[in-house]
Amino acid sequence: MAIRVLIVDDSGFFRRRLTEILNSDPQIEVVETAQDGKDAIDKARTCRPDVITMDIEMPVMNGIDATREIMKQRAVPIIMFSSLTYDGAKATLDALEAGATDFLPKRFDDISNDKAEARNILCSRVKALVSPSKLRPTSSSASAPASSRTSSAPAAPQRQPVAPRAASPSRRTSNKAFKPSDYDLVAIGTSTGGPVALQEVLTQLPASFPLPVLLVQHMPATFTEAFAARLNQQCKIEVREAKNGDSLKPGIALLAPGGKQMKLEKRAGRLLVRVEEETDPMQNYKPCVDVTFATVGSAVGNRMLGIILTGMGADGSVSCKALQARGASIWAQDEATSVIYGMPAAVAGIAEQILPMKEIGKKLATNT
């Protein structure tokens, strides 16, 4: 069976263009289009799509309100199309809080300068949000997951359901308490579903949390400042976008800037952040979990706790395996609460603990 998609946008040109792109993949079928949020609610009820693409700014009812109403009726993966501006970032974050699953730039050139690659990324993102059983086998599909050159479009997505499921057999918990004295810092990496997951984890930490926190979320450059500001308003600890030369301090979480790499170095006994431009044209992720985690390991050795949350692909797996071999602790979000179980699955085999999203922050807050 093909994946049934509902396209929602007030631009007739965009609806036609997106329909053409998605229908070019034999595993995807655009079954209906809607021109505003109210129209989308009605059509989502009647055609029951597997995935919805949603514009934010529309007449009659905007995409955020429409997303909220659709999710009340039935949980369905919704991909928001957003402008890559600060205001676009804030609106997108509002949409994610309302229940949207993922987001993409509204301009296809912002996804990739290569039209074929942009098409592959669009189709891959849609297919990543449904169960593998929904995808019909085909030898002619031209939409194999493509490497992304944007910070918000991870490569090699895993095709997993969005709705929570029964706990995976690989779920691993223990009664071992989190002891902050065993660590110098906590580092968290995530991608699709990460904004909501990070909010859930970080809002449970007390203002007196005794460790610094580094955050790596796959996100465009214009989004991370707005995301850090939002988290700072919601959390008891301080959260801000990392800047070059920042010193790590207890109770402060630094978010890697989009489009760049955040690295850590130890200088004269102090842990300092380096924010650098990415010079490797083959590096898919900007920021990259593996890049940050590897430098954290070099700076603090086994005195770090690395946590991998929901996300497409396997970013973080290489560094986490090396860190675990050196004695560092690795936790992973469980399959049941992950939007996409790609990144956590890639480290599940070496994770000390595999925990539901709501339990991670709670466990970190224990004994702090």
Catalytic residue annotation: 191, 218, 315
Both structure tokens of 175: 């009664």
CB atoms inside a 10 Å sphere around CB 348 = 21
Cis peptide upstream of residue 49 (ω within 30 degrees of 0): no
The amino acid sitting at 204 is: Q
Helix or strand holding residue 118 (H, E) = helix 115-127
Shortest CA distance to 322 belongs to which of 296, 354, 294? 294
Residue 361 parent element (H or E): helix 357-365
Q: Which residue has the tokens 């976008």?
A: 241
Look-up of token digits 């707005």: 226
Q: Tokens in use for 313? A: 């692909």
Q: Could you give the C-alpha distances from 293 to 208, 211, 253, 297, 300, in angstroms and in order?
A: 24, 16, 15, 6, 10
The full length of the chain comes to: 368
